[in-house]
Amino acid sequence: MKKNFKISIYPTFSVNYLYRKKDGNSLILPHYLAVHQSGEITLNEEYSEYNWVQISKLDEFEPKIPEIPHILKQMLRLEKIAKVEEFILI
């Protein structure tokens, strides 16, 4: 990410997801409640594209990792109890 890309993140809790890659390797991917503040995303050589998707359109959006809608529901529950002063800007 470029230096001008900023998000506020709620670091207290994460929803962790075990992801198995096609080559058999596994990753544990932590998902944090975050809010985009400013700046543009810059992709590295590993990725060729990205999309900002409205929450209301996520169910119909493809392709996506199947667990993302469940993870989003957990993040939206967390959003209800997270206090603004508990977020950190990165």
What would the pLDDT profile of 13-61 be if each residue is shown by its tens digit?
999 999 898 999 999 999 999 999 999 988 989 889 998 999 999 999 9
Alpha carbon of 71 to those of 2, 14, 30, 48: distances in Å? Answer: 26, 10, 10, 24
Specify whether the CB–CB gap between 1 and 42 falls below 8 A: yes
Provide the pLDDT for residue 78.
Answer: 94
Token pair of 44 as six digits = 């590295």
Q: What's the pTM? A: 0.79
The pLDDT-based confidence of 3 (bands split at 50, 70, 90) is: confident
**Nearest to residue 58, comparing CAs of 74, 71, 69, 70?**
69
